[in-house]
Amino acid sequence: MGTMGLALPWRARISPTPRERGTRVEPSAPFSGGGSSAAMDAQSEDAALAVGCRSGDLRAYERLYAMHGARMKNVARNVLGNPVDAEDVVQETFLKVQRSIASFRGQSSFVTWTYRILINTCYDARRSRLRKREVANDDSEETPRPEPRAPGAHPSLRMALERALAKLSQHQRNVFLLYEVEGFRHAEIAGMLEMTETASKNTLFQAKKNLRQMLEPPRSSGAETR
Amino acid sequence: MNVTCSDRERIFEDGTPVEWAALEAHAASCPLCAEEVRAWKLLSAAAEELRHYSGSPLLWARIERALTEEAAQKTRRGERWNWFSRLPRFPLGWQTVLAGAFVLLLAISGGWIYIHGPVEPGDNDKSLLRTSALKQVESAETAYERAIDKLAAEAKPQLENPATPLLANYHEKLLVLDSAIADLRAQAGLNPSNAQLRYQLLAVYQEKQRTLEEVLEAKP
């Protein structure tokens, strides 16, 4: 698995929590205010994490988990559709980070690098699961296991969205999940999925167009989707 | 900033905040764009349904254990190969240069030995002669050749004017043998350590000796 050579600019740091949503629009111009104290803090935090993990300090891994563990698990769960597999993948991601931290050259954010490993590990897990299913000749349709739900969530909308997402291409699904669900920027997604920022924007646009077509009910009840 | 319905999709894909604000302003007076913008935003809102950051109190404990075990394994492997780590650590570029220089040195040495080095026959290769043995063989050959030349000188009158068909045949045979000797000597000159050539040369000399003796015995 390739985990090196991310060419993501340092200023595209990943925040440990998703951004506030509302009308989420990214400025087309390069990020302004790169020297702000928040950006500097994020940068130094990221560098400290990388240094700590490189030196084998378990507390650095614990901090990485505390900051990104839940989000990583959510990414994996949405990609794999299974919370148990998601936890396995998060664990495997941490092991891969430990194994390959020496090859991390700091060309990108450490956290972006980690998420890229996570995404690749999700792909590996999916492939492995498909192979096992083929060997077992199990024809049963893969269905995500039910999971405790967040209070106030809308089960029918969630299920409808999950079904529609399952019909998207892997690329469109991943970009949609990373941008709309996890709140990553296109620059960050580009680093994780090894694509350009423009391609990420275009893929998201296509994904949303397709989802809209799939989710759009007949015009007469269109307003009742949510 | 003014936008029209035709700008809508472009703004959906890659619009700036200013363009989005202009599109929403336009949507206030355009029912079609208002519906499209609403549906577009609804998708983003719906995506939040998939964000569920559940706590996993046991997951970190699992990860920590796995990390510790793997680190311990790595340490054990490292101890096994500790002697290797004592070797000087050069940057990759220098390692490449050193490896290249070593290969070049080997190639030059091999080439020099091949071109200039003495050809020492191996113990197990009996077809090659050692230098000292070669000198002995050459001196013995020279003495043997002189002795045969003396014999040939005695037989020369009979061979130059053969009185019988038998002597004429002996004469022809000796011419063939001389020719073979000349060939073998030329080959031995090129490859003086080849014992096989020396054996063949000796056999031809012996044949010439026997033939000359028969010529002399056949004296009328």
Question: Is B31 in contact with A196 (CB distance < 8 Å)?
Answer: no
pLDDT tens track for A29-80: 433 444 567 777 777 888 888 999 998 899 999 999 999 999 999 999 988 8
> Taking CB atoms and an 8 Å cutoff, what residues of chain B touch A27?
16-17
Burial class (CB in 10 A: 0-12, 13-18, 19+), A77: buried
Give A216→chain B minimum CA distance, Å: 9
Give A137→chain B minimum CA distance, Å: 30
- Best of A15, A23, A216 to disrupt the B interface (most B CBs within 10 Å) is A23
| CB count in 10 Å sphere of residue B96 | 11
Contacts of B207 (CB under 8 A, 6+ apart): B177
Task: Return residues 170-199 of A near B (CB < 8 Å).
Answer: 176-177, 180-182, 198
**Domain boundaries along the sequence of chain B:** 5-48, 131-217
pLDDT tens track for B9-21: 999 988 888 999 9
| CB count in 10 Å sphere of residue A105 | 10
Number of alpha carbons in the 13 Å side-chain half-sphere of residue A111: 29
Residue B124 pLDDT > 70: no
Each residue of A184-217: b (16+ CB within 10 Å) or e?
A: bbbbbbbbbbebebebbbbbbbbbbbbbbeebee
- Report residue A159 as tokens: 């299920």
d(CA A164, CA A178): 16
pLDDT tens track for A181-210: 999 999 989 988 988 999 999 999 999 999
Residue A28 pLDDT > 50: no
A-chain residue closest to B74, CA distance: A99
d(CA B37, CA B34): 5
CATH of region A8-13+39-143, choose from 3.20.20.80, 1.10.1740.10, 2.60.40.1930, 1.20.58.60 = 1.10.1740.10
B-chain residue closest to A217, CA distance: B39
**Domain boundaries along the sequence of chain A:** 8-13+39-143, 153-217
Q: Does domain A153-217 have CATH number 1.10.10.10?
A: yes
Q: What is the pLDDT of residue B88?
A: 62
Q: What is the pLDDT of residue A133?
A: 76
